[in-house]
Each structure stands twice: as structure tokens, then as C-alpha cells.
Amino acid sequence: MFKTMTPPRMFAMVSLMMIIIMVVCTGLIQAPFFRQSIIDREAVVVRDLVNALSLEHGVLLSDFQDYSSGQARQHFDSSFGTLKRLHGTARIKVFNRDNIIVWSDDPTLVGTKRTAHPERLAAAMRGEMQALFNPSRNISGIAEHGQPIIGTIECYVPIYLHEIGTTRMDAMGVLSLYRDPKDLNQTIQKDMYLLWEVIGGAGFILFLALYKVFSLVYDRQKTAESKFSKLTLEHERIVQIEKMSAMGELVGEIAHQLNNPLVGVINMAQLAERQVHDPQRVLELLAQVRKAGTECRDIVQRILRINQISRSELAPTDIQDLIHDTITFCQQSVDLKHRVDFSTSQPKTALTVDPVLIRQALFNLIHNAILAAPDKPVHVALTTCNRDGVNGIQISVTDAGDGFGPEVAAKLFKPFFTTRSNGNGLGLPVAQHIAIKHGGVVIAENLTEGGARFSIWLPTGATP
């Protein structure tokens, strides 16, 4: 059921349940506080009434000591007997300082020490007013309609001395009043209903506001997700179009590279057919056909090498040694007279890379630098470089050539693009692919003093 519900409905259900639980729990928690507040208020009224009656009818300390005398009983009856007419009164007991009941509406209790809360009686005797609700206490008296009273409101109020020379805090006795909690419970029930209505109304208003906000946020989220989904699909479509465009461009470049030698093969084969009577001329034409076929094979092999660099074998590699080896190999393999310098201020630098691929990428950059200015030296440098907050190393190859223009800069790393008549256009794209495979990049820049610098940047933690 919950799986099929929408988030707004789920929010509404959970919110309403929480509001109901909050209202009920608040009412149940507040009920004891309401009850005690009402009891304390009534206890104050009882205390003032008791002391006013005792003062009016002349109750003395001697009455509590000689409570069996006629004068004492008369004082007690005239003063405390009035309390029997209070609504809900169930039992009245008056204690002296010895905790003996000296007067009660039940004469059989006089002279005994019967109380369920001696600690409250002792506190009241010290002048502290005590009031509590006792739901489990049963009074064996008779209520207004002749039914036993279940549960009581118990008040223990001190009766102060009113004789000359005494202070108000001197208690000569304590009056214990037990009352029927029916009226109190009805008042509390009404207060709880009112409290529930107020909290419930406020909670419902809060729920409506939150539900409105949640619905707006949810609708906007759904709209945003829908737009994002459309944008994602559109982006995927554009990426697919770009892939197809790049593939078409690559196929076009390959076709262009293969077309010229293949056209030559066809033309020379047709010419050899017409001159079959001249064996010497046929041999010359066949040699040209073989040469054109060799060019086609070389083009295909160069294309295959692009796929081969996708495979790598990692190993901890000393970058300084790798650069020295690459420079030596380049000087031996390129049939040009030139000088390649290497400088670095770095200590031994080791990275986990594929040394064969990094050497090939660096070889391509040095080879291009040599061809850019064959009669001038090439400078190779190793430095540390922070790029986009990532620490790394940079192998820079600087030539003294003419640099490159904006149009050439946009095509430097495109496969088969070259500015030389004898170039194959794969050196820089291969170097860039190798650098990216190691988490780095090849950077091309013109120098203000002339020439160009091509750099391989690799992060120090690079692992392809």
C-alpha cells in the first residue's frame, strides 16, 4: 500500500498521525499539572478558611492538648463542623502536635493516629501546606448520594496559633480534608478538551501550511526532474551526434589518406595492362604499385597503433631516467644533426606509470620539436606543477621554431592533422591520449620570445 502512495499523501498521513499523537500525549502530560494546580489553589482556599474559622471561634492551643473537654469539642464543632457543608467533603480530621486525631466528622477516629501520609502530616505541622490527588485511596464514608467515594483530594493545612506572643508560622495542629474528586475531574476533562482543541487546531493549521509547502516543493522537484531527464536525453542525443560526426570525420580522414595511393595503384595497374608488351615498363609500374601498397599498409598500421596504446602495464618508474633514455633514443633514431638539452632541479621522481607509453609520448614531442627547427637545439625540462589544486610534474619540450597560429592550435590534437608534407598527424593525438590515460594532459603554448612549448603534465598519484 505504501509503495503505491505518492510522497504528498505519505507526508499527509505521517503528519496527521504525528499531530494526533502530539495532541493526545500533550493532553495526558498536562492533565496532572492541571490537576495539581487546581488542588493547590483549593488547598490555599481551605487553609485560609480553616484559619479564619479557628480565629473566629477562638480555637486555642489548649483545645488540642485537652481535646476531650467539652470546651474543646464545642470550639472544634463550631469552627471545623462548618467544613462538612463544603461540596464534595468526604472526611475531616484534625491532628494535634502528637499526630493524634483530636476532632473528626467521624467520632470513632478521635484519639487515634490514623493517616496514610505521615510525611505530609509532618510537613504540614512545620507550616508547609500539602495537597495531592490520590486515585487509589478509598474513603469509607458516604458521598452526597450515598455512594462510596473512589479516589480523593487530600489537603493537609496547618492551623496557626492566634495567641498573643506567637508567630503565624507556629502551627498548633493540622486539618486533613478529604474531598470527592468528581468536580475536579470534570474540570480537568473540560480543560483537556479545550487544550486538545487548541493544540489540534494549531497542529491542523501547521499541517495545512507544511502540506502546501511540501506539495509546492514536490511539484517543483518533479518538474525539475522532468526537465533534467529531457536535458539528459537531449545531451545523450547531442553526444551521440558528436560521436557520429567525429567518427565520420575520422573515417573521412582515413579514406582521404588511403584514397591517393589506391588511386595510384589503379592507374598504374591500368597502364601496365596497356604496356604488357614492354616488360621493363611493367616492372617499373609494378614497383610503383608496391610502393603505393606499402603506403596503404603503413597508414593502416598507424591507425592500429592508436588502439594499441589503450593497453598499459604499470610500474614504478624514475622519470629522470626515462627522460634521459628517451633523449638518447631520439638522437640515435632521427637522422638529423641537433642538440637536446635536459635540465631539472627536482630530486629523483618516481611515478607509477607505463614507461613505454610515457616514453612514446615524450618521443613524439621531442621529434616534433626537432622537425620544427632542425638546426637549433631543443630544451627538455622537468618541474613540479600544481594544476587545478592537484600536485603533479610537468615535462616540457621547448623548440625554437615559428610556433603555431590560432587556426592550427584548434586542430593540433586532431588525428591525421599535420602542417608538414611528410607528417602523418598522429604524434600529438597519441601523446595526448597517453597523458589523459594517466590522468594528465598535454599542454601546447606559444612563447613570447619565439618558438613553442609542448608539456606533458602528470599528477603525482597518477595510475591509468
Domain 312-459: give its CATH superfamily: Histidine kinase-like ATPase, C-terminal domain (3.30.565.10)
d(CA 82, CA 105): 10
Does the pLDDT at position 293 exceed 90?
Answer: no
Instruction: Name the band, by pLDDT with cuts 50, 70 and 90, for residue 156.
Output: very high
Strands across the sheet with 101-104, in order?
A: 101-104, 89-95, 171-179, 149-160, 130-139
Does the pLDDT at position 147 exceed 60?
Answer: no
Does the pLDDT at position 9 exceed 80?
Answer: no
How far is CA 291 from its chain centroid? 67
pLDDT at 43: 86
**Exposed (0-12), middle (13-18) or buried (19+): which is 273, by Cβ within 10 Å?**
exposed
Range in 164-178, 212-226, 242-256 with the lowest mean pLDDT: 242-256
User: Roughly how many angstroms between the first and final C-alpha of the chain, as a whole number?
Assistant: 49
Q: What is the CA radius of gyration of the chain?
A: 53
pLDDT at 339: 79
Sign of CA dihedral 400, 402, 405, 408: negative
Sign of CA dihedral 42, 43, 44, 48: positive
Contact 425, 432 (CB under 8 A): no
pLDDT at 248: 62
pLDDT at 103: 93
d(CA 345, CA 270): 63
pLDDT at 145: 37
Answer yes or no: same fold for 7-180 and 312-459: no
Range 7-180 classified under CATH 3.40.50.10680 = no
Cell of 299: 597508414
Instruction: Name the band, by pLDDT with cuts 50, 70 and 90, for residue 144.
Output: very low
pLDDT at 409: 72
Domain definitions of the chain by residue range: 7-180, 312-459
How far is CA 117 from its chain centroid? 55
pLDDT at 187: 75
pTM, full prediction: 0.42
| DSSP per-residue letters across 223-242 | HHHHHHHHHHHHHHHHHHHH
Contact 102, 96 (CB under 8 A): yes
Per residue in 331-381, pLDDT (tens digit) is 656 555 577 888 888 778 888 888 888 888 888 888 888 888 877 888 999
Average pLDDT over residues 17-27: 78
Tell me what the pLDDT averaged over the chain comes to: 78
Does the pLDDT at position 131 exceed 70?
Answer: yes
Contact 305, 364 (CB under 8 A): no
